[in-house]
Chain A
């Protein structure tokens, strides 16, 4: 409006320790508001007797401690958290790694070689809408009851996002970069490793991140196949035994494990894709 406003000196306060701390703590505090409010609502709802079927947060917390280190209830589930977490994690990472090992090379081929695309793309597009849950019965017939089925279902869940994002990455390499490479003397198949692969890496990582997320997502379904250990098995057992606190504990552990493993991928991604400013998670 007026020149005075524009030319007025701006007061610059040096950031003191407290100010700096608040600035850093603010996003953390903000992100805690909704979960804490829900927790409070849950607590009050149970206390007011709105439900008899759901245990209070405190009861779940107590059970979580017993589930993790034992010494409170001393039943069949006490101090078994690490066993179930390990069993689930091995299936999640095993299925995920196998999916990545198959889907990344396959995606590179489909995106790059027309013959392979024509051969496989229609078939894969047809199979893709079939949900993992629909595969459950067939998987149990094929692989029997047990961890092979769980492994297979996790593999299926992680497979498509990795495959589709890899294909997308390969197909969307800037054409200019092929011209640049060929006028610099890098032609034909050499371009695959020097241009296509690095250029597709951001998309491949997006696929891996989605794939790993889905692997945790389907683990419960995967472990409905009658495995003795695993977080999915704990949840199913909890339901059968009407142990709701056990069900909730299993859910919380899966949530945390999925979150932590996603953070690891994001950290890896930020390191490897430092060159891509648009690719920061």
Chain B
């Protein structure tokens, strides 16, 4: 245990007050993520997976416990933890190029360096022809590529993804999954990925963390040892899918009121 994990979630809970009501969104979550790991959070709505992700992002403060990055408490949003939203969150008034440059420029990087970084990432996501287009001119898949490039160009060590492909059609989703894995393998990124698709979780991750609602909590974690690249049609894949599916539904069945 000498090695410090990149992310360390220790007994994290989150309670919201809504008028007189107190809503416990997350209770006693424990999770460590090693550098370079691809971890998926999966569960039904209300299981606190997005809350956990937003705590790691620094958008929310935990009501209990500690969220650490490299052993230091997470105090707010910062470029080392880049977030990819389901609704993209691109700046509509900026072009693709300017959206990707936003982070490095905000952090006061030299102009020449920003320009080089931006061009590199535009080429990487294959949008050179659309570099001067505005977000409203792009398809959903293109927008999400820009959103990913935007956090990578800003030197994010951890990429947090909140159902990033949930709004895309099936074909685009599969392509982006492949592209994301390719990027991850080439860059040694750490990815924390929220999804409600069992297949997506197994296809992408080293480890699947199953969460359950009422109150939201981590139920179990499963290491996926299938060799990459994974074939969603293989019997081994289906074996894992069935097992994980049973577990997810059994949690669902004994869901507390």
Given A275-B134, A275-B136, are A190 and B91 neighbors across the interface (CB < 8 Å)? no
A187 to B58, CA, bound (A): 13
B225 contacts partner chain A, Cβ-Cβ < 8 Å: no
- Inter-chain contacts of B89 with A (CB < 8 A): 176-177, 179-180
- Is B103 within 8 A of A276, CB to CB? no
- Inter-chain contacts of B154 with A (CB < 8 A): 184-185
Minimum Cβ distance to chain A for residue B222 (Å): 29
Identify the 7 closest CB pairs spanning chains A and B, nearest first.
A184-B103, A186-B106, A180-B89, A183-B77, A182-B77, A275-B134, A185-B79
A52 contacts partner chain B, Cβ-Cβ < 8 Å: no
Contact residues of A with B, CB < 8 Å?
176-177, 179-187, 190, 194-195, 198-199, 201, 274-277
Query: Which residue of the partner chain, among B92, B136, B151, contacts A184 with CB atoms under 8 Å?
Result: B151
A199 to B94, CA, bound (A): 11
A201 to B82, CA, bound (A): 27
Query: Which residue of the partner chain, among A179, A185, A201, A275, contacts B106 with CB atoms under 8 Å?
Result: A185
A252 to B57, CA, bound (A): 60
A176 to B78, CA, bound (A): 15
- Is B91 within 8 A of A177, CB to CB? yes
Given A179-B77, A185-B103, are A276 and B92 neighbors across the interface (CB < 8 Å)? yes
A185 to B57, CA, bound (A): 12
Interface digits, B64-79 against A, CB 8 Å rule (1 contact, 0 not)?
0000000000001111
From DSSP, what is the main secondary structure of chain B's interface residues? Answer: loop
- Is B93 within 8 A of A183, CB to CB? no
A277 to B135, CA, bound (A): 10
Question: Given A181-B102, A186-B102, A186-B106, 7 more contacts at CB 8 Å?
Answer: A179-B59, A180-B85, A182-B77, A183-B81, A185-B79, A190-B106, A275-B135
Minimum Cβ distance to chain B for residue A50 (Å): 54
A45 to B107, CA, bound (A): 72
Minimum Cβ distance to chain B for residue A188 (Å): 11
- Is B93 within 8 A of A176, CB to CB? no
- Inter-chain contacts of B59 with A (CB < 8 A): 179, 183
B199 contacts partner chain A, Cβ-Cβ < 8 Å: no
- Is A179 within 8 A of B83, CB to CB? yes
A–B pairs, 30, beta carbons within 8 Å:
A177-B91, A179-B57, A179-B83, A180-B83, A180-B85, A180-B89, A180-B90, A181-B91, A181-B106, A182-B76, A183-B78, A183-B79, A183-B81, A183-B82, A183-B151, A184-B79, A184-B82, A185-B106, A186-B106, A190-B106, A194-B102, A194-B106, A198-B91, A198-B93, A199-B93, A201-B93, A275-B134, A275-B136, A276-B92, A277-B136
- Inter-chain contacts of A177 with B (CB < 8 A): 89, 91
Minimum Cβ distance to chain B for residue A257 (Å): 32
- Is A275 within 8 A of B92, CB to CB? yes
- Is B93 within 8 A of A184, CB to CB? no
Minimum Cβ distance to chain A for residue B67 (Å): 15
A195 to B151, CA, bound (A): 17
Q: Which of B92-111 contact A (CB under 8 A)?
A: 92-94, 102-103, 106-107
Q: Which residue of A has the minimal Cβ distance to B79?
A: A185
Given A180-B83, A194-B106, are A185 and B78 neighbors across the interface (CB < 8 Å)? yes
B143 contacts partner chain A, Cβ-Cβ < 8 Å: no
- Is B91 within 8 A of A185, CB to CB? no
- Is B150 within 8 A of A176, CB to CB? no
- Inter-chain contacts of B151 with A (CB < 8 A): 183-184
A177 to B93, CA, bound (A): 11
A176 to B90, CA, bound (A): 9
B87 contacts partner chain A, Cβ-Cβ < 8 Å: yes
Minimum Cβ distance to chain B for residue A275 (Å): 4
